[in-house]
Amino acid sequence: MPSSALTPSSRPPEIEEILTTLSRYNPETTTVLQEYVATQCATGSYDLMANLALLKLYQFNPELMRDETVLNVLAKSLTVFPQPDFTLALHLLPPSLLHHYSTVSVPSSTIPLPPKADTDDQLSNSVHRLTYLNSLLELEAFPSFWRILSSDVDEEYADLVADVTGFEDAIRKGITKGVILSMRSFKMETGLSWWNFTSMEGVEQWVEKEMPGWVIEGDCIVRKDEGDAAAAVTMQPAPGKIKFEQFSRVIRRVYENELLHH
């Protein structure tokens, strides 16, 4: 984890104080951290350590747990995929919440179907939904992700991320990172479906704004500078040097044998 993620510059001093002292165990700080989650949702900032500290307070004081905040923390952590933040948050939730979670996988496809809601617990169902969204993101199954999110059949998906301002653009940025990492060029169509724009214009604007060094050539988006994706066969030469000391055992052996024979 780069240290900027551990202590984001947007973190106010009072939160820093809570996180670095024993007040992180003080149930009274719950409200402060809850408000901080709301701030993160509103302003687009993000602070993993503070959010995990809040979940820990919930773990210690289950009666203080606010469903809405738990879900917001999870929704926020979706925006930094493919970092493991979502998973780290899940580990701190009450075990009963995920107890019924299971996805059905389709043969010949890597993309699982949505989880079945087989519990009456509202929170548990919502956590299942967010977990499913997280799976789609981490499988880079973006067309499915957007389809589920905008589904008319199950509107709750959209509701769950509604509190997070700029959720869609944050996800697009995450997708863009993966694209920049692994591609030298790709089709406009791919951009359209992965970023979920309604028109090619949207794609064009996005490339211009978010992908410096990339240009649109015909129906392709092409990298002009060589970055991470540059792939060339690299052969590390075998280190051929051996230190003289490494032969000590061999030399001693020869010497001893000489002694034995005489």
Partner 1 sequence: MDNEQVAYDYDDFIQKTGDYDFEDDEPLATDLIDHEGYDEEQLLQQQQLFQRQLQLQQQQAVAQLPDAVRNFILYFHHCLKENNVYDLHGCYENSFNRLTEKFYKNTPWPDPHGVVAPLVNNDQPFVTLYTELYYRHLYAKLQPNLEDRFASYDNYCIWFNYIFDSSSPAEMELPTNWAWDIIDEFIYQFNSFALYRSRTVRKSHNEEEIQQLREHPQTWSTYTVLNVLYSFIQKSRMNEQLEAIKEGRDPDEVAGEDGSRSLYKTFGYFSIIGLLRVHTLLGDFTLALKTMEGIDLSKKSKYARVAGAQFTTYYYVGFCYMMMRRYSDAIKAFSHILLYISRTKGFHNRSAQYDSVTKRSEQMYALLAICVALCPTRLDDSIHTTLREKNGEQLARMQRGGEESLPVFEELFSFSCPKFMSHGPPDYDNPANNVDPLQHHLKVFMMDVKKTMLVPTLRSYLKLYSTMNIEKLATFLEMDPEELRSALVVFKQKSRQVRWTDGSLLDGDVVNISDLDISLEGDLINISEAKIGRKFGDWFLRNTAKYYAVQDTILNKNPEKQEEKEHKDKRRERREKNAEKKGSK
* Binding residue (CB under 8 A) for partner 1 from 141, 148, 164, 203: 141
- Residue 9 CB neighbour total at 10 angstroms: 6
Phi-psi map region of 97: left, alpha, beta (phi>0 left; psi -120 to 50 alpha): alpha
Answer for the pair 207, 221: CB distance below 8 angstroms, yes or no: yes
Site for partner 1 in 4-33 (CB under 8 A): 6, 22, 25-27
Contact status: 116 vs partner 1 (CB under 8 A): no
| CB of 168 vs partner 1, minimal distance in Å | 19
| CB of 156 vs partner 1, minimal distance in Å | 20
Binding footprint of partner 1, residue count (CB under 8 A):
72
Contact status: 135 vs partner 1 (CB under 8 A): yes
- The end-to-end CA distance of the chain, in Å, is 64
Stretch that binds partner 1, among 38-46, 148-156, 199-207, 249-257 (CB under 8 A): 249-257
* Binding residue (CB under 8 A) for partner 1 from 244, 250, 258, 261: 250
| CB of 18 vs partner 1, minimal distance in Å | 13
Q: Which residues pair with 222 in a beta bridge?
A: 185, 215
User: At 234, is the secondary structure helix, strand, or coil?
Assistant: coil
* Binding residue (CB under 8 A) for partner 1 from 152, 231, 259, 261: 231
Amino acid at 158: A
Contact status: 185 vs partner 1 (CB under 8 A): yes
Site for partner 1 in 144-163 (CB under 8 A): none
Residue corresponding to tokens 């030399």: 251
Stretch that binds partner 1, among 31-39, 50-58, 66-74, 158-166 (CB under 8 A): 50-58
Contact status: 182 vs partner 1 (CB under 8 A): yes
Select 99 or 116, whichever has its Cβ closest to partner 1.
99
Answer for the pair 57, 27: CB distance below 8 angstroms, yes or no: yes
Angstrom distance (rounded) from CA 139 to CA 250: 54
Angle at which helix 188-195 crosses helix 200-210, to 10 degrees, equals 90
Angstrom distance (rounded) from CA 56 to CA 49: 10
| CB of 167 vs partner 1, minimal distance in Å | 20
Angstrom distance (rounded) from CA 255 to CA 262: 11
Contact status: 187 vs partner 1 (CB under 8 A): yes
